[in-house]
Structure 1
Amino acid sequence: MNFKNFSSALLASSVLGASVLGAVSAASAQDVTLTIESWRNDDLPIWQEKLIPAFEAANPGIKVTFNPSTPTEYDAALGAKLDAGTAGDIITCRPFDKSLALYEKGQLSSLNDLDGMKNFSDVAKSAWQTDDGKTSFCVPVASVIHGFIYNKDAFEKVGVSVPKTEEEFFAALDKIKADGNYIPMAMGTKDLWEAATMGYQNIGPTYWKGEEGRKALIAGTQKLTDADWVDPYKTLAKWKDYLGDGFEAQTYPDSQNLFTLGRAAIYPTGSWEISVFNPQVDFKMGAFPPPVRKDGDTCYISDHNDLGIGMNAKTKNPEAAAKFLNWVASDEFATIYANALPGFFSLSSNEIKLEDPLAAEMVGWRKDCKSTIRSTYQILSRGTPNLENETWIESANVINGTVTPEQAGEKLQKGLDSWYKPAK
């Protein structure tokens, strides 16, 4: 082969090699798989059948795998994976301190520059921010709303209307009790957390004015011995007469069963029950927000941040992960997720159309009521005694009648004072 032919062959070979390498490089650039870490193992079908196909259709070349852990093992398993550098690209975020600790360890990325974060309010973002509110590290996904679910058939048979004020609320309970065919309210105190979550944190924001009182407690300008924090306990103490015989030994599943079997007229709870109750009940359900203290008062609801999604700071696919998180922040994701899991509401500031009538009814309260989050979840439960757990105990004690509302407030404030010093 002469030099000219050799050069031509070499050039052709080089061009061929370059084109093959280019094709391989292009394929590699498109061949990205994102793995999602989550504790929501019951959501696996929703991700596999609805969410992931929708994202992949709009983002060819990015594949997504949903890799849930057992809920009780998630925090430990995720921590071990993050420490070892083996965690997935996308991290499902618990609200408040658990996720904040991951960010402070450098394991979650800041999302301040993520375009989709503009779709969320400050309250929505509060569960996944630094204490100063300057850095967000997870996209807000879903919240649960507290209130009261009721048996519409029972209300009609007894002849009571949906109460709007506390006076109307207790008048309805009295009428249901006098009728004798239904337990007025299904709630027990054996499991403790119900008394706080379905009781104190449900009606309390009406007294401490939602975010105003919650932030004042963190700032130290209000105390748990103040009237705004003791008065909800005075109201809870009245619930005792309407919970039925043996409520002190009644568990959470017991309460659920009493309501779904049609034996109780009202269930103080949260929207997370909607998807549980829908296939179980054979009566019509309705819902009403916590009654206001008197006509004309502002309505407040606990619209509690429950789940967010963030980025592993050590992901090898940051651009693809950012695309995915922007999609999580979109109306498309919010609409699919909220309708697949009725009662877990999108935290987006944009209005999301819901198909489930009870879910739509509850989320509609956001238009007329001011939203807040559970008072114990941000900052105030980092020490010992843990204010969240202590609130469970004292709420149950108040309803059981073993302590007074004033004693409950004093014990909770004393415990908080023992370790928490508000920032000056």
Structure 2
Amino acid sequence: MPKQFRLASFLFCVGAALLPSTLRAAALTIESWRVDDKVLWEEVLIPAFQRKNPGTAVKFVPTAPTEYDAGLQQRLSAGTAGDLITCRPFDASLNLYKKGLLERLDGQGRSQLDDFPASAKLAWQTDDGRETYCMPIASVIHGFFYNKKIFAELNLQPPGTEAEFFKLLDTVKAQGKYTPLALGLADQWETHQVIFNGMGPAYWQGEAGRKGLIAGKKKLTDAEFVDVWALMARLQPYLSKGAATQTNADSQSLFGLGRAAVYPAGSWDIGPIRAQSLDFGAFPPPVPKPGAACHISDHSDIGIGINPRSKNKEEAYKLLTWMASQEFADLYTNKVTGFFSLSNHLVPVLDPVAKQMMDWRKSCASTIRLNAQILNRGRPSLESDFWAVHSLVLAGKLSPAEAAGRMQGSLNKSGK
């Protein structure tokens, strides 16, 4: 290399090193299990952030959901994790925080958490509520989808009560052309997260029942919980003949192809069903009797935190601040259909079914999944026991009373 070029190269490197840090382009990396969000981040969210923060490079690097938790902990411990961490609710993230692997966000004079209600922050706080380590992003809501064409054909209306719900299922079953309820038992999680936690809050009075279990003032053998298993046992005749081996993907397909009248679902299912060009609506979980209070499972699902060992911490806080904004809430709610902003910002929801579900917040009390907070800490966790027991109840292989006894036994063993 000619002498003058070596000198020019040297001077350029020295000049770059002396540039103020504010002029150097930070490169932020976001860790997540949301592989489906990659295109959204790359084509919508990152460009929107960069329009207000030019010079900040951002990479969204998701890991497969089944590999995320273990891989993330390894990377955080080794100091190779990204700058921002997508947080699962409750214990998965709390355990990281206790190990010093997530930054504390409150108590530092920063304002990122100001636009979120206390209920939204619950999933990412210490048990005493004094420390917050992830900022809330979105929740999912449980309910039922229905095929509008089938309902019109059979002169059906969305039910409001348990009696109306079973009358509807009886009508579809008697007609014989369609499966009344698109629900499979092979994957098991739907029976717990969608059916038990979707329909149950109206019986155990949402937060009152959930907090009563945590405080030890209620038991799963109490009538309000046994009644939910009794309700679930009644659903068995309305499932398809192959329900035992039917996966959630099969249920989606059964409903999406117009072969089932009702699909017990989470709001995360809106996008996949919408992609099948079906005309469908949604109704909230029926109440036990006329005049009973409506409750919905509005479950905190996604948060965002900061890696305490990030080399770009101030830039990471800039991105976090933008994610607390009205702009982000609007974009995320309407681009990730069925994931609802947990912020106080008023968000106009564009998808009609997503809007239906979000509007339930106006007339129904919100709660989270029964065992999500504290109760899952036994080994094996209460969650895995619930999956197995609920599937047996729906298959007609376990009575409601037996289910209650077995699950209370699991709760006793956990020491909670």
**TM-score for both structures, normalised by structure 1:** 0.91
Paired residues for 1:158-307 under 5 Å: 158-281=154-277, 283-307=278-302
Q: 1:397 aligns with which of 392, 399, 412?
A: 392
In structure 2, relative to structure 1, the CA distance for the partners of 1:83 and 1:23 (3 Å cut) is closer
Would you say 1:50 and 2:41 are equivalent positions? no
Would you say 1:103 and 2:97 are equivalent positions? yes
The aligned counterpart of 2:63 is 69
Q: 2:327 aligns with which of 317, 322, 332?
A: 332
* Rounded Cα–Cα distance in structure 1 between residues aligned with 2:41 and 2:187: 32
How many pairs does the alignment contain? 402
Q: 1:367 aligns with which of 362, 367, 372?
A: 362
Moved more, 183-192 or 247-256: 247-256
Q: How many Å apart are 1:116 and its aligned residue?
A: 2.5
CA contact (8 A) 1:102 1:108 kept: yes
CA contact (8 A) 1:88 1:312 kept: yes
Q: How many Å apart are 1:96 and its aligned residue?
A: 1.2
Q: How many Å apart are 1:198 and its aligned residue?
A: 2.1
* Rounded Cα–Cα distance in structure 2 between residues aligned with 1:27 and 1:394: 57
Q: What is the SS of the residue equivalent to 1:148?
A: strand
CA contact (8 A) 2:329 2:345 kept: no
* Rounded Cα–Cα distance in structure 2 between residues aligned with 1:320 and 1:216: 42
Identical-residue share of aligned pairs (%) = 51
Q: How many Å apart are 1:118 and its aligned residue?
A: 2.0
Would you say 1:156 and 2:152 are equivalent positions? yes
The aligned counterpart of 1:36 is 30
CA contact (8 A) 1:37 1:88 kept: yes
Q: How many Å apart are 1:121 and its aligned residue?
A: 2.0
In structure 2, relative to structure 1, the CA distance for the partners of 1:385 and 1:68 (3 Å cut) is closer
CA contact (8 A) 2:144 2:284 kept: yes
Q: 1:314 aligns with which of 309, 313, 330?
A: 309
Q: How many Å apart are 1:30 and its aligned residue?
A: 4.1
Gaps of at least 5 residues in structure 1 are 1-16
Q: How many Å apart are 1:22 and its aligned residue?
A: 10
What are the Cα deviations for residues 307-343 of structure 1, in whole angstroms up to 9, with x where unaligned? 1110011112222211211111111111111111111
Q: 1:94 aligns with which of 63, 88, 91?
A: 88
Gaps of at least 5 residues in structure 2 are 1-10
Larger radius of gyration: 1
* Rounded Cα–Cα distance in structure 1 between residues aligned with 2:24 and 2:365: 45
CA contact (8 A) 1:339 1:354 kept: yes
**TM-score for both structures, normalised by structure 2:** 0.93
Q: How many Å apart are 1:242 and its aligned residue?
A: 1.0
* Rounded Cα–Cα distance in structure 2 between residues aligned with 1:208 and 1:154: 32
Q: How many Å apart are 1:175 and its aligned residue?
A: 1.2
CA contact (8 A) 1:123 1:372 kept: no
What are the Cα deviations for residues 83-133 of structure 1, in whole angstroms up to 9, with x where unaligned? 111111111111111111110011111111441312222221121111111
Q: How many Å apart are 1:37 and its aligned residue?
A: 1.1
CA contact (8 A) 1:385 1:416 kept: no
* Rounded Cα–Cα distance in structure 2 between residues aligned with 1:76 and 1:159: 50
CA contact (8 A) 2:377 2:414 kept: no
